Structure 1
């Protein structure tokens, strides 16, 4: 069973499954997060939707580059979780299925190309305080504590 975070689904509301790939980007004791301005200003783990027939790893590389300007290496699957939410930028209710990967930021190629995004290096404490999504916080907290992330079905 995939762990669920956030609010429960609304009774009677249809939700569209939206798979996504997100990264904990760790380098020299710091984490690279993205800040999105719209539709709601918030810090997030870099990543986003997996567009069919795209593979999760291809989506991860693409989304990280778009949102941070960095290329990544050595991605390793950690876990997955789901959350139910309204996605105002797509005008849909979604059951987001978030795959979380650990990767190393290798090189900055450019500023983020995704409009309204900026990349920010943070200490672990800053990152935990900044992340809005409770699933991202839980997975990051487990990673930082050296524990198996919640809902993990593979060894790390």
Structure 2
């Protein structure tokens, strides 16, 4: 049986009655001065995550990542930014807030240049009833952040 992980890293197995669906998503990894921009959403305010989400019909992954970044952070995505790299992963994700199992193909866009105008200190409110914050990368291990996103950051950020 296929195992799915929720945002906290707990494993779940779907039953015959479970909703299982394919989903595509795109996310922004914004790194500036050894800090990464994270959001805290109302459905899991204790679990910081990378800005991003589902790809809407008619969008490509980059368009979705930039739209989701703006929606979740309230920060306009600069049109002149170019990703250092992008990469795809596959994740079996249990979305505990909606009780769905997602066979989730995700694209991540890493940005490390031109982010100074987006930087701020401390926590600031974010549009989706949460907040946003730049977190030092040396604190990532101690954070109870989104398990998939934490694994991605560990692979992307040099030790």
Q: Which TM bucket (shorter chain)?
A: 0.7 to 0.9
Question: Are 1:47 and 1:67, in contact at CA under 8 Å, matched by a contact in 2?
Answer: yes
Inter-partner Cα distance in structure 2 for 1:78 and 1:21: 10
Pairing of 1:28-107 with structure 2 (within 5 A): 28-36=33-41, 38-41=42-45, 42-70=47-75, 71-72=77-78, 73-75=81-83, 76-88=85-97, 90=98, 92-104=100-112, 105=115, 107=117
Cα deviations by residue, 1:88-146 (Å, 9 ceiling, x for unpaired): 3x5643223222220243634xx766321321011102234325322211111111237
| Cα root mean square deviation, aligned | 2.6
Question: Are 1:34 and 1:118, in contact at CA under 8 Å, matched by a contact in 2?
Answer: yes
1:118 maps to 131
Inter-partner Cα distance in structure 1 for 2:147 and 2:55: 21
Unpaired runs of 5+ residues, structure 1, are 147-156
Inter-partner Cα distance in structure 1 for 2:22 and 2:108: 16
TM-aligned CA deviation for residue 86 of structure 1 = 2.9
Inter-partner Cα distance in structure 1 for 2:144 and 2:107: 16
Unpaired runs of 5+ residues, structure 2, are 119-123
Q: Secondary structure at the match of 1:15?
A: strand
TM-aligned CA deviation for residue 54 of structure 1 = 1.0
Q: Secondary structure at the match of 1:129?
A: coil
Greater shift, 99-108 or 48-57, is seen at 99-108
**Normalised by the size of structure 1, how large is the TM-score?**
0.74
Q: Secondary structure at the match of 2:48?
A: strand
**Normalised by the size of structure 2, how large is the TM-score?**
0.73
- Higher relative strand content: 1
